[in-house]
């Protein structure tokens, strides 16, 4: 970058003061401003750049860059915006952090949002006139999505040798099958109790009360069934088990997390699902193996990769597994091991002389 270009970028930063981390971008609460002034500004920006994506509903432009000062160095943050055709509104977003909507009206944007959009606008015009290439090294890493093995974030909880032994035991255990899938509620709750015992929970209650103590609670009427009636449990499984509740979430999750699920036998085996409660899940799996209970564990490999630190997880975004794992850039201990996504700048329209 030539000195004159960098000087002009610093002038943009100084002209529009901004403390980026103080801006409230909330995925759960959409913020909408009615500002014809900013609406028209975004409309003008469309004259400089080609859409990255367009269909019957939206016309989107990403990525444009926001210049920022980080420890006296020049860095960039990926941003973008979409025109929402049905609503005649724009949605402006900062990559990995969410965004705001802009419609027509007499509102003035708060200074922080105004500075944010104006910096992007001014730098876009500068790029249109005299472009520079922006690489991953130039991007402020808190606003970029990457991937890294979990062992570079936190210390592994299990050795690779132990994980291999569990896999071997699990493969051997798949030879075991129940004589029939037709079980009673008592049969099911007895296996549920084993999960609780494996996790050191208090099991000094009758089976139904024990389930009520630790399960999700939305049982679709399962707990009202007689304990020893196979036909009643079979009819309930086929007709009412999928009522919209969580009868098989035997260790309840939190507000946005999912707990441990144990499904009744299918083709002679129970099925246990981990979700967000990895420790409770693996404790149950080990106990099932010890007691030679026939079961499937479809996400066992991912769980063992998680525990050994070999699982590839996302940085600055939610990982695919566990479902609600979110790792910030600042939490990664060995940052050199992160593989960053490729961010491509928008294509600029030809300058008119």
Write down the pLDDT at residue 203: 93
The reply to whether 187 and 267 lie within a common domain is yes
What domain range includes position 121?
Answer: 3-141
Structural contact between residues 210 and 203, judged by C-beta atoms closer than 8 angstroms? yes
287 three-state secondary structure: helix
Q: How far apart are the C-alpha atoms of 338 and 286, rounded to whole Å?
A: 32
Question: Any idea how long the chain is?
Answer: 353
Structural contact between residues 91 and 99, judged by C-beta atoms closer than 8 angstroms? yes
* 10-residue averages of pLDDT along the chain (353 residues): 86 93 68 95 97 97 96 95 97 92 94 95 95 93 96 97 98 97 97 97 94 92 95 92 86 85 96 94 98 97 98 94 92 96 93 54
Residue 313 maps to a domain: no
Q: Report which of 317, 349, 345, 342 is spatially closest to residue 61, judged by C-alpha positions.
A: 345
The vertex-84 CA angle with 130 and 41, nearest 5°, equals 40
Rounded to 10°, the helix 36-45/111-129 angle is: 20
The reply to whether 250 and 120 lie within a common domain is no
Write down the pLDDT at residue 40: 98
* Cβ-count burial 254-267 (b if 16+ within 10 Å, e if not): eeeebbbbbbbbee
The reply to whether 252 and 173 lie within a common domain is yes
Write down the pLDDT at residue 31: 86
What total number of domains does the chain contain?
2
pTM for the full predicted model: 0.86
Structural contact between residues 275 and 298, judged by C-beta atoms closer than 8 angstroms? no
Write down the pLDDT at residue 52: 97
């Amino acid at each position: 970058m030539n000195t004159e270009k960098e000087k002009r970028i610093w002038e943009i930063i100084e002209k529009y003061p901004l403390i980026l981390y103080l801006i409230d971008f909330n995925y759960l609460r959409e913020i909408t401003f009615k500002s014809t002034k900013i609406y028209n500004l975004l409309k003008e920006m469309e004259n400089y750049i080609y859409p990255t994506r367009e269909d019957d509903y939206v016309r989107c432009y990403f990525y444009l860059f926001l210049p920022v000062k980080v420890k006296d160095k020049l860095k960039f943050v990926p941003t973008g915006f979409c025109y929402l055709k049905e609503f005649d509104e724009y949605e402006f977003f900062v990559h990995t952090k969410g965004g705001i909507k802009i419609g027509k009206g007499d509102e003035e944007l708060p200074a922080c949002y105004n500075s944010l959009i104006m910096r992007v606008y001014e730098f876009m015009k500068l790029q249109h006139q005299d472009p520079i290439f922006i690489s991953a090294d130039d991007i402020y890493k808190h606003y970029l999505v990457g991937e890294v093995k979990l062992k570079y974030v936190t210390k592994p909880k299990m050795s690779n040798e132990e994980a291999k032994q569990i896999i071997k035991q699990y493969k051997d255990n798949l030879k075991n099958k129940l004589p029939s899938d037709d079980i009673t509620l008592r049969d099911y709750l007895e296996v549920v109790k084993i999960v609780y015992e494996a996790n050191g929970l208090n099991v000094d209650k009758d089976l139904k009360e024990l389930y009520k103590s630790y399960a999700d609670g939305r049982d679709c009427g399962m707990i009202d069934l007689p304990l020893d009636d196979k036909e009643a449990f079979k009819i309930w499984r086929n007709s009412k088990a999928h009522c919209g509740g969580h009868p098989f979430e035997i260790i309840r999750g939190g507000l946005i997390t999912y707990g441990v699920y144990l499904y009744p036998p299918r083709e002679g085996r129970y099925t246990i699902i981990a979700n967000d409660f990895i420790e409770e899940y693996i404790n149950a799996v080990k106990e099932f193996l010890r007691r030679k209970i026939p079961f499937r564990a479809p996400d066992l490999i991912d769980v063992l990769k998680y525990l050994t630190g070999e699982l590839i997880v996302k940085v600055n975004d939610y990982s695919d597994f566990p479902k609600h794992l979110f790792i910030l850039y600042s939490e990664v201990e060995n940052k050199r091991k992160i593989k960053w996504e490729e961010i491509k700048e928008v294509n600029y329209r030809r300058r008119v002389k």
